[in-house]
Amino acid sequence: MSGADGRARRVMHVWLPSLATDRLSIERVRELRRQRSGAAFSELLAQVRAEPLATVMPASGGRSIDALNESARAAGLSVGLSLADARAQFPELQSDPSDPVADQETLVAIGRAVDRYTPFVGLAPPSGLFLDISGCAHLFGGEEALRADILKRLSAWGYEVKAAIADSPAVAWAVARHGEMGIIPPRQSREAVASLPVEALRIAPDMASMLRRLGLKTVDAVLCQPRRPLLERLGPWLTRRIDQIEERESEPITPLTPTAPFVAEHNFADPIAHLEAIEGALRHLAERLSRALEQRGEGARRLLLRLFHADGAVREVRVGASRPLADPDRIRELLAPRLAMLSARIEADSGIDLIRLHAEETGPLDPEQGDFQQEKVAFADIARLVDVLSERLGADAVQCFVPVDTHQPGKAYLRRPAREWLEKGRREAGSQPMPASLASERLPPLRPIKVFTPPEPMETLASVPDGPPIRFTWRRVSYHVAAAEGPERIAPPWWEGGETCDYYRVEDIEGHRFWIFRQGLYGEAQQPRWFMHGLFA
């Protein structure tokens, strides 16, 4: 079997046997630290762990134990015991309701935190992780050093943890949970699992009980049996597990975080809690990422900045760009506002020991030569402004008006996020803003800056029935018309029906300019009505 990089595959399984109770213990320690400022995490954790703790779930006739911490197991309690019987044996037992959703969220958070070692981290629910470490163990001093570092780090975070490394996920799982060895040498999987109990095959408890009743108590005893009788009696699931542990069937690992084609990272010797140091590291990462992108003729459209905290927390900052970019200054310009928003949390937390910058989505760079009017340069500046404002204010807060192919003024434009429109403009020819040199060849109808939706009714007095008004009243104020231009006649689509509208641009004696229309023509409607639709500057 080969790993993700083509080398011999090596997989680590990380098992958290007390995940549910560890999660509760860590929550209690954090609450105690808020009450006792300055108390050491490790000391409080030892105090909390010394108290027997269980999670319970509803069962017929009451509640049963779902998980136990190490102290409760040492007292002789076991999973499946009713809470009443457990407290009869050990009255000091504390209990909390089981919460599988919170346990799953905790497992995912741990998985995202340990992908500092490898991008290929997958879940093995309900309490385990698979890490494909093929070709990356040497970066941490070898497999033994890598395993020791993970065990030390997760223990410091407050979790009971076991881990094993082998050629396949099946063997690593079996050894981590049922064996004593931490690292299985390459091509020695069969020997490593031979003496393990049948539960190491990752089968259901009832199937393991049936195998034991048949006299098959170890993995080796099962592997030595003919395949057909096992298939006929116990079904294909058991034979599939046998194929996986013998490495005849590959078991892929689905990464929690999709791998990005371009990644740059920086490790700190000690946890950093100052924004200036993080921004300095970000500057170097942006330069490295930009060089890698330029060499491939690509630019980043989506960027992900991941901040790995010393206590296991991982903060993520995602930004987007309307145009593919490979400019380190632009990258920092997009990320800086979002990073500044996290500065208070960063300085109050345990510090950051690893920062990683991903180019999640890329696109081809299109070098454009500017012209004498600098129209393309101006468009690039607009895209840059839209990107910065969108990150500071939110993408939905920066909008533009997109023209719609209709003659109806009230429906001629739609509001769209400006970044979305600029991205579409690069994909579809003709969707970019019309250059100034071409705009003069085909001037659109003049439209006001302020448009009322819906139009507001008003009263008018016209010199002739089908002409513009000479005086009108709007919002209880009378206006005398000094000049008028129009009409611009607009009829509704035939499939919608409705009345024809005559639009006028009028100016009163004080210089105010309005956009008004008459709905319905004389002879077409019994009583045409006038409306105020907008105001010109």
What's the rounded mean pLDDT across residues 334-343? 82
Report the pLDDT value the prediction gives residue 184, as an integer from 0 to 100: 95
Q: What confidence tens digit (pLDDT) does each residue in 206-239 have?
A: 999 999 999 999 999 999 999 898 888 888 999 9
The distance from CA 289 to its chain's CA centroid, rounded to whole angstroms, is 21
Residue 353: which H helix or E strand, with range? strand 352-364
Q: What is the 3-state secondary structure (H, E, C) of 188-205?
A: CHHHHHCCCEHHHHCCCH
**Percent residues over pLDDT 70 in the chain:** 91
In whole angstroms, give the CA distance from residue 165 to residue 124: 15
Which pLDDT band holds residue 36 (cuts at 50, 70, 90)? confident
Nearest to residue 519, comparing CAs of 458, 447, 453?
Answer: 458
In whole angstroms, give the CA distance from residue 89 to residue 515: 86
Q: Which two tokens stand for residue 200?
A: 């190491």
The rounded mean pLDDT for the chain is 85
Which pLDDT band holds residue 441 (cuts at 50, 70, 90)? very low
In whole angstroms, give the CA distance from residue 481 to residue 467: 12
Q: Does 413 score more than 50 pLDDT? A: yes
Nearest to residue 54, comparing CAs of 63, 65, 64?
Answer: 65
Q: Which two tokens stand for residue 126?
A: 């309900």
Q: Which two tokens stand for residue 228?
A: 């057909």
Torsion of CA 308, 312, 317, 318, to 10 degrees: 100
DSSP 449: S
| Greater pLDDT, 440 or 499 | 499
Q: Does 517 score more than 50 pLDDT? A: yes
Report the pLDDT value the prediction gives residue 393, as an integer from 0 to 100: 77
Q: Does 267 score more than 80 pLDDT? A: yes
In whole angstroms, give the CA distance from residue 213 to residue 222: 13
Q: Which two tokens stand for residue 26?
A: 């860590």
**Percent residues over pLDDT 90 in the chain:** 48
Q: What confidence tens digit (pLDDT) does each residue in 46-62 have?
A: 999 999 999 999 887 78
Contact indicator for 122, 141 with CB cutoff of 8 Å: no
Report the pLDDT value the prediction gives residue 431, as an integer from 0 to 100: 40
DSSP 433: P
Which residues does residue 53 pair with via DSSP β-bridges, in sequence order?
A: 94
Q: Does 509 score more than 50 pLDDT? A: yes
Q: What confidence tens digit (pLDDT) does each residue in 94-126 have?
A: 999 999 999 999 999 999 999 999 989 999 999
Beta-carbon contacts of residue 414 (< 8 Å; ≥ 6 apart): 401, 402, 404
Count helices and strands in the chain by DSSP H and E runs: 18, 19
Q: Does 137 score more than 50 pLDDT? A: yes
Q: What confidence tens digit (pLDDT) does each residue in 349-396 have?
A: 778 899 999 998 888 886 654 454 555 555 667 777 777 777 777 777
Contact indicator for 457, 530 with CB cutoff of 8 Å: yes
Burial tier of 292 (Cβ tally within 10 Å: 0-12, 13-18, 19+)? middle
Burial tier of 464 (Cβ tally within 10 Å: 0-12, 13-18, 19+)? exposed
4-13, 35-44, 100-109 — most confident range: 100-109
What's the rounded mean pLDDT across residues 184-211? 93
In whole angstroms, give the CA distance from residue 535 to residue 193: 81
| Greater pLDDT, 190 or 341 | 190
Report the pLDDT value the prediction gives residue 380, as an integer from 0 to 100: 66
Structural domains of the chain sorted by starting position, each given as residue range(s) with its CATH number in brackets: 11-15+103-245 (3.30.70), 19-98 (3.40.1170.60), 262-367 (3.30.1490.100), 368-444 (no CATH), 450-535 (no CATH)
| Greater pLDDT, 437 or 92 | 92
